[in-house]
Each structure stands twice: as structure tokens, then as C-alpha cells.
Structure 1
Amino acid sequence: MNARSPWSEDRATAVIAANRHLRGALLPMLHALQEEFGCIDEEAIPLLARELNLSRADVHGVVSFYHEFRRSRPGRHTIKVCRAEACQSMNADGLIEHIRRRLKVDFHETTADDAFSLEPVFCLGNCALAPAVMVDETLHGRVSPARFDAITASTLATEAAR
């Protein structure tokens, strides 16, 4: 589950300060902010620019260049679907279409109930068991549409039981 803190300028300033000493500090700062808050909040851009003596456009350019940085908070669970060749050869595209219809989202989007965010990845290292999907930190292989439905139902059931 993606437990993230709500946005706080004071906490963001502390996260930025903790990474100030690092070489090429912008990327470590961005990763730390995303880890803390689940995304790069718009309010973080001027804080980073001021701290690193960069323009807001420079910081925004880095955030928008790297696909790993989210601009909105993710759902409670993140689903990553492998798009690499081994998974494609085992009908990952068909699985992706099923997932899009089932969740009513596209890549880089979150379901209306904030339960799931859908992200593409270009290898999960599970090529022998393609197509592969990762839900939060759990890797699943040989995922069919029916198995995907069972995985997401189980994820929600486990969440409800907590």
C-alpha cells in the first residue's frame, strides 16, 4: 500500500535540506519528495528552484522529462504492467486492454475510487513468466485477464480486512 504524507511545506523544506549535500542534488531531492508525498506537488517546484538557484522552468523541465515523477498522488495501490518484448510476445497488449477497460483508466492515471494507479514499465525481470504485473511490491507472472481480476479483488479484500 502507498502510505504517503499529506503535503506540508515545512516537511518538504526538511526533505530538501536533507538532500542538499548530495552531488546533483535535484534528482535525489525529487525522489525523496515523491517518496514522502507520493508525487511532486506543484508547490515543491519554487522551493527546489530557490534552494538550488535554478529557474522554476528548469525544475519543471526535469520533473516532466522523467516519467517516474508523478504530478498527482497515486492510488492506494500501484499496478505496474510490463511492456517489454517477452511480455508483448505473450499478449501483454491484450492484458493491458483488459486492465484499461476493467479499471476505466489509462497509464499514469488513478481509478475514481483512488484504489489503483496504472503504470507501464519496460521490464519487471520476470520474462520466463510473461506477461508480468506488479501490484505494489508483489510480482505476478503469467497474468491472464481472469488472473488480473482475481489479483485486484484479493488486493482490495486484504485492504478491507485491515
Structure 2
Amino acid sequence: MSVCPPWSAERAMSIVAEHARQRGALLPILHALQETFGCIDDAAIPLLAGALNLSRADVHGVVSFYHDFRRTRPGRHVVKMCRAEACQAMGADALLDHARRSLTVDAHGTTADGAFSLEPVFCLGNCALSPAVMIDGVLHGRVGPERFDALTADLRAQDQAEDAR
């Protein structure tokens, strides 16, 4: 579980400075901002436009085009569920429905307690072990409803243990 710091224009500008001389700097900067802050804050759009001599529309267009860029902070745990053909053939649709009910959250949403963000994605590259789920960057294959519930229950228990400290 990682907690991202709040938005800081000063920190964002240092990230821009680290990457600004790269060819095609916008994407590396956006990735670095999201890695640092958990999302692309609204304040980043004009900041990047000014720093890279782009229009705000250009920056917004890139952020909105790529589904991996988040405009809101994610939950403490990010659950990515594969929606590609191999996983669909092995029950990914039913698993996503189960996950939505189990976590009480819609796809692309975050639970009310901020514990989980649920993100359907096109492919996790684990077709031979479908349906595949990635939780906090860890890939899991052959995930059914029971295994999904066990994985999320373990994370909730870890969160509670950390909170108790």
C-alpha cells in the first residue's frame, strides 16, 4: 500500500525540469507526475502547457486519450482486471461483475472507503492463465470469484494491521 503525497506545484516543476529536455517529454512527465502524485491533477494541465510550450488543449488531449492516466487519486489498492479476448473467454465478464458487487464500486471507480480502485484494462499479457488480475502491480492468473475475494480480504487485513500500528 502506498500513499501518494498531495499535489505540489513545486515538486511538479522539478519533475518537469528532470524530463523537459527529452524528445517527446510530455508522456514521460505525465507518467512521472502520476507515479509521484497518484494522478494528473487539474493544476498540471496549465503548468505543463506553459513549461512545454503546448496548448492546454494539447495536454488535456493526451491525458484524456490514454486510459492509464488518472484524473483523480486512486484507492490505496489498484485492481486491474483484464478485458481482452482470452480472459473474456475464461469468464472475465462474470469476474468483473463479481468484483463490482464484492467491492461495491463501479468500473473505473474507487470504493467509498478509498481502499480499492477498480480498473478494467485491455490486456495484462497473462493470456495462458486467464482470467488475469493485477493488484498493486502484482499479476495473478486463473482468478475466480473465491480467489478474488481472498486476495482483497488479505489486503483489507493488511490495511487494518497497518492502521492498528
1:109 partner letter: G
Question: How far apart are residue 143 of structure 1 and its match?
Answer: 1.1
SS of equivalent to 2:2: coil
Q: Does 1:94 align with 2:91?
A: no
**Maintained 8 Å contact 1:2/1:75:** no
Q: Distance in 1 between matches of 2:136 and 2:33?
A: 19
- The RMSD of aligned alpha carbons is 1.1
Q: Distance in 1 between matches of 2:22 and 2:34?
A: 17
1:6 partner letter: P
**5+ residue gaps, structure 1:** none
The residue number in structure 1 matching 2:82 is 82
Q: Does 1:63 align with 2:63?
A: yes
Question: How far apart are residue 159 of structure 1 and its match?
Answer: 2.4
1:45-80 Cα distance to aligned partner (Å, 9 max, x none): 111011011111111111111111100000000001
Q: Does 1:147 align with 2:147?
A: yes
Question: How far apart are residue 22 of structure 1 and its match?
Answer: 0.6
Q: Distance in 1 between matches of 2:128 and 2:26?
A: 37
Q: Distance in 2 between matches of 1:23 and 1:3?
A: 31
Q: Distance in 1 between matches of 2:10 and 2:84?
A: 40
Runs of 4+ in structure 1 deviating by more than 6 angstroms, as ranges, are: none
Question: How far apart are residue 155 of structure 1 and its match?
Answer: 1.0
The residue number in structure 2 matching 1:160 is 160
1:59 partner letter: V
Q: Distance in 1 between matches of 2:100 and 2:123?
A: 19
The residue number in structure 2 matching 1:31 is 31
Q: 1:2 to 1:120 in 2, by over 3 A?
A: farther
Q: Does 1:14 align with 2:53?
A: no
The residue number in structure 1 matching 2:113 is 113
SS of equivalent to 1:33: helix
**Maintained 8 Å contact 1:2/1:38:** no
Question: How far apart are residue 2 of structure 1 and its match?
Answer: 3.2
Q: Distance in 1 between matches of 2:122 and 2:37?
A: 25
1:72-99 Cα distance to aligned partner (Å, 9 max, x none): 0000000010111111111110011111
**5+ residue gaps, structure 2:** none
Question: How far apart are residue 139 of structure 1 and its match?
Answer: 1.6
SS of equivalent to 2:124: coil
Q: Does 1:127 align with 2:127?
A: yes
Q: Distance in 1 between matches of 2:146 and 2:110?
A: 21
